[in-house]
Every structure is written in structure tokens, then in C-alpha cells.
Amino acid sequence: MSARVAALALTARGGALARRIADALGDAEVHGLRGRVPDADRHFADASRHLRALFEEGRPIAGVCAAGILVRALAPALRDKGAEPPVVAVSEDGAFAVPLLGAHRGGGALAQRIAAAVGGRAALTTAGDRRFGVALDDPPEGWTLANPEHHKSFVAALLDGARVRVPPGVAWLEESELPADAAGALAIRVDDTALSGSPDTLVYHPRRLALGVGCERGAPADEILALARACLDGAGLAPEAVAGVFTIDLKADEPGVHALADSLGVPARFYDAAALEAQAGRLRNPSELVFREVGCHGVAEGAGLAAAGPRGALVVEKTKSARATCAIARAPAPLDPARLGRARGELRVVGIGPGDAGTLTPEARAAIEGADHVVGYRRYLELVAGLRHGRGVHAYALGEERARVEKALRLAADGERVALVCSGDPGVYAMAALVMEVLDATTDPALGRIALRVLPGVSALQAAAARAGAPIGHDFCAVSLSDLLTPRAAIEARLAAAAATDFVIGLYNPVSTARRETFARALGILRAHRAPETPVVVARNVGREGERVAIVGLQCLDPARVDMNTVLIVGSSATRTFAHGAATRAYTPRGYEMRTGDHADEGK
């Protein structure tokens, strides 16, 4: 179960229990009804709608409320019972945790963890789970049931009194209350070979195979997949028994390696040459050539053996295709790939929008929540403080942009998942350009292998425009008045050109603590080109505490009302204002009133 549990409450008392549950589970957050549950990580107004959204996102839900509320809310969303997340109803006094849905995805186990955390009881209603103390269709992490289609009849036979042959040495089976009997009519088999099972035999695959691969740069994914498949098939091994794909860190950005891992539904993990060379004595096919090229005597065999550990052994030795190699090692017990080697590092340059949770995009939220490290300017980190959860937080002062970028890149190069947080959009007067600049100039190959994405955000200009109406409905440009990185003459020349050509102009960084006179000069330039009554949107702290958005005439604009958290939108000659109820709206028409003929417009 990877998604974070939402512990949901509708009352203050429920909220307190939800908080205890979230704290005990660790990877969880409290969702509370707005106005009722003060201590919540996220608030919602409509419980049914919120529940359905969580369910559809696949988030496990612990609802501290009547079971009926959950049933009614989620009934319209029920579809695929194999894919639904666990949903557990918890009574407000914590006495009962009832798994309602998602039994196949850990619902019973979640109820038991919640019950253990709050001193209540898990009220399990699935017959097999209750009688035998184990959910045979939901084995522990590291195990896969090969024939779920036979689970129902198998449990029915057990409930009818049949006895079962249980293999020795598997703790979760031994700790269950299955009616074990060496002469039983039913059987459980544990195997990493591709057995299919039958109505009276459940087969479990332990994820204990380590698939080691090597390849040339750019080796086609199809070739690597076919080679891995041939190695598994040739040895009769089940793909479900593969715990991970392992290789050398030089291949961390090799698409074919990731395609193989994705096709198996397992992580790709990477070792440095020294860790692989430590396996040299165990290789069946050591190669001097490989050693000269990458610093270890074998990549596929070395990576498989490193992952399988000292008690593991090769089951398929190095096998080659035109541009790739593959080997398979078996460990004595299921492997936890998260602890083996390193992941490919990720850097997400995340725009969080102007500040309010409503304009934070779902992907930006997910990137921050999923990050091992969050890096950013202290104030921006405060804006998303509610999202962070016990990970590395690296707060910097204003002006330390390069240090921020270098820290974020270094962490990512070390295999961490990093979110570099920017306000607004990361590509608008923010960190994305500096990240590109550093990557463009670097000679460090580890930086070249980072998985990089820039996640757009709502820029201050867009947020301010939306508050005011539609002032950037037609051609516009943006000018930053900060002269830290741009000569004043260039700023003023651009401003004059933009003003002369009748662009709507967004002004970022109008003033700073040490700089006010550039704004006064900018006003002079604008006033020279635009009519005195030209509407100007003055938007301060948009989406943040102390938000103030005003629309004033260019002539009346008071520089004292402008601070460093202000963005301005200076209208063009076409920009107008009108009264809409109590509000004043500004907009720049696109020219529909001038349109003649019937041809379709280019944009909507």
C-alpha cells in the first residue's frame, strides 16, 4: 500500500481520534470537515464528494464516522473490487474498526493496525480472515498470490472443514490458524517457478528474485524486455517472483532499464561500480573488458548477486542479446528493493502557485508529499508546511538561489527524490531556469542521470488577473523590475518598447527593500505612453494572508501601496473596467465586437 491514508473526521472528537490514528500509522494525514474539525491537515466542505475523490484517487480511507456515511458516499464510485483502496469505518470512541472495502488491498490489515493503535477491535467480516487469522488473497508485502481466481473456492473448502498442507518456514503462514495437516486435501505452495495453481492449491510467489541487467547506451527497451523474459521463461521462473531490476548507476537514466522495471511492476535500483566489484569473486562470467569499461567485472551478475545478498545465488547466469545482458539471482527470502542499492534520483522543480491551497496543482502537491527532501526559500516552504511529513527540509534565505539549486541537484544525484519549491510558476522569474543553467554547464555525469521534471504552477500574474477579471485577455508581456540580474537600462528599454506597442504589461518585482526608485521611473515611462485613466491592477499577497487587489487609474497609482509581494498589471489602450455588483472588473477585450463574417476564431 503506497498512498497515504486519509484519516477522515466530521466532528472535533472524531478529529482527535483521527489525529491519533494518523500519528500511529505514520504515513497518514487528517482530513476534517471545515468548521468542525480544527486540527486537520486538509479541510473539506462536502464529505460525500471528498470521500469519493479520495476513493477514486486510490487513497486508503479511515473514516471516523458511521459506516453508513461511508457506504452512501462511496456506493456510486464502486467499480473494480481488485483495484479499490481499503476503506475502514472507525467508531468515534475507537472501540471498533470495520473494514468495509478493499479487502484485497489490505483493508483487513489496515483495520487491525488502527485497532491496535487506538486500543479497539478490528471487526473483520470476511469469513476466511476471521476463522483462520490470515487474508489468503492479501498476503504480506513481498508475496503474490499466483491464482487469485481460486481463492474463493479454496476458502469455501476450508470453511467446510478441509485441511491444508502448509509449507514450513513461512512465518505468516505458520502464525495463522489454518488447519495445517500434512495429509490435507488442500495445499499451499510457495515457489518462484511459474506454477499455475488449481482450485485446491494456492500458489504464492515470494518476491525473492533479483534481475540483474546490463546494456549499451540506448539499448532498445523491447530487446531488454525480451531478454529478461527469455531468462525467466528459460528457467521456468515466475515474473511475479521478481523483486526488482538491478544494475550499475551509470545506467540510472537508461530508458530500457526503467521500461523493464515498469513492465514487471517493480523498482529499478542502482549500485556503484565498487559495490558491484565486491561481488567479483562470486561471478560466473567475469570480464576484464567490462572491468576496463566500467570498473567492475560483471554488471548483470554482480547486480543480481549484490541484491540477493550473501546468502543468495545465481539461478540464471549472464545471458546476452545484441546490446544487453541479464542474470537472475535468488535470495532465500523476499527482498525489500527499497533497501537495495539506490533509486534513480529525481528532481521536481515545483511551482506552488501564489500561496493558497486551492491553486496548488494536484501534481505539485503529490510531488511535495512524495519527496524525500523539500528544498526552497523559507517563506515558500512555510506556505506548504501542511504538506510535509518528516522528510528532509532544507530552508534557505532570499538570495541563496544557487545554493538551493546545488543542494537540490546534489541530493537528487545521490538517489533522493527532491522537490525544489518555487512560488507561482517555477519557470517565471524562479528556479527552473537556474536549474537548466547549472545542468547545461555541468561536467558531472551523475547530474546528467537525474530524472528531471518542471511542474508548472499558477503564476502571480495569472492569479492577479483572475482576481481582477480578464485584463490579460489579449496580448501581454511581463517585465521584472529587479535590477539584480538585469541592467536597469535594459529593463527600461523593454518597458518603453512594451508601452509603445500597447502590450498589457505585468510588472513583477516592482520594488525591494533596497530599491524603490526603479518603480518610480517605470511609472514615468508608462505614463508617457498611456492615458492617465488606463486601468492598473495592483495585487498584493494574492492567495496569501493580507491579500489586497485594487484597480486604479495609472495617474492615481500610489507607489507607497506597492511592496515586494505585489504584482501589477498595466492595461493597454483597450483595457476597460466596469461595475459588476459591488466589484469593479477589468478586462482587455479580444476584439469580438469588431469581428465580421462567420469564420471560426482561433482560440476559445
Residue with nearest beta carbon to ligand SAH: 424
Instruction: List, in order, residues 6 or more apart from 582 with CB less than 8 Å away.
Output: none
If DSSP codes are grouped into helix, strand and coil, which group holds residue 431? helix
Other residues' Cβ atoms within 10 Å of the Cβ of residue 425: 22
Binding-site member from 564, 576, 584, 585 for ligand SAH (CB under 6 A):
564
DSSP string for 248-298: EGGGTT-HHHHHHHHHHT--EEEE-HHHHHTTGGG-SS--HHHHHHHSSS-
Minimum CB–partner distance for residue 243 and ligand SAH (Å): 41
Cα separation of the two ends of the chain: 42
Minimum CB–partner distance for residue 548 and ligand SAH (Å): 9
By C-beta, is 165 or 379 nearer to ligand SAH?
379
**537 is a contact residue toward ligand SAH (CB under 6 A):** no
**542 is a contact residue toward ligand SAH (CB under 6 A):** yes
- Considering only CA atoms, which of 227, 430, 452, 226 is closest in space to residue 346? 452
Binding-site member from 91, 176, 319, 509 for ligand SAH (CB under 6 A):
509
**459 is a contact residue toward ligand SAH (CB under 6 A):** yes
Binding-site member from 424, 456, 535, 571 for ligand SAH (CB under 6 A):
424
Binding-site member from 567, 569, 570, 586 for ligand SAH (CB under 6 A):
567
Minimum CB–partner distance for residue 425 and ligand SAH (Å): 4
Binding-site member from 543, 552, 571, 575 for ligand SAH (CB under 6 A):
543
| Helix, strand, coil abundance in the chain, percent, nearest 5 | 35, 25, 40
Instruction: List, in order, residues 6 or more apart from 311 with CB less than 8 Å away.
Output: 331, 332
By C-beta, is 109 or 422 nearer to ligand SAH?
422
Residue found by looking up cell 458516499 in the block: 73
Minimum CB–partner distance for residue 580 and ligand SAH (Å): 22
By C-beta, is 459 or 518 nearer to ligand SAH?
459
Torsion from C-alpha of 360, 366, 371, 376, nearest 10 degrees: -10
Instruction: List, in order, residues 6 or more apart from 62 with CB less than 8 Å away.
Output: 5, 6, 7, 8, 18, 21, 25, 28, 88, 90, 97, 110, 114
By C-beta, is 117 or 542 nearer to ligand SAH?
542
How far apart are the C-alpha atoms of 405 and 436, rounded to whole Å? 10
**384 is a contact residue toward ligand SAH (CB under 6 A):** no
* Contacts with ligand SAH, 353-372, as mask; x by CB under 6 A: -xx-----------------
Query: Among 117-125, 253-261, 564-572, 574-582, which window interacts with ligand SAH (CB under 6 A)?
Result: 564-572
**423 is a contact residue toward ligand SAH (CB under 6 A):** yes
Minimum CB–partner distance for residue 498 and ligand SAH (Å): 16
**518 is a contact residue toward ligand SAH (CB under 6 A):** no
How far apart are the C-alpha atoms of 358 and 364, rounded to whole Å? 12
By C-beta, is 159 or 520 nearer to ligand SAH?
520
Binding-site member from 430, 478, 491, 522 for ligand SAH (CB under 6 A):
430
Cell of 292: 576496463
Residue found by looking up cell 472524531 in the block: 14
Number of residues assigned to the chain: 604
Query: Among 24-32, 48-56, 334-342, 425-433, which window interacts with ligand SAH (CB under 6 A)?
Result: 425-433
Binding-site member from 67, 541, 584, 590 for ligand SAH (CB under 6 A):
541
The neighbouring-strand residues paired with 214 are 325
How far apart are the C-alpha atoms of 325 and 321, rounded to whole Å? 6
Minimum CB–partner distance for residue 359 and ligand SAH (Å): 10
Query: Among 214-222, 244-252, 287-295, 536-544, which window interacts with ligand SAH (CB under 6 A)?
Result: 536-544
The residue ranges that bind ligand SAH (CB under 6 A) are 354-355, 422-425, 428-430, 459-460, 508-509, 539-544, 564-567
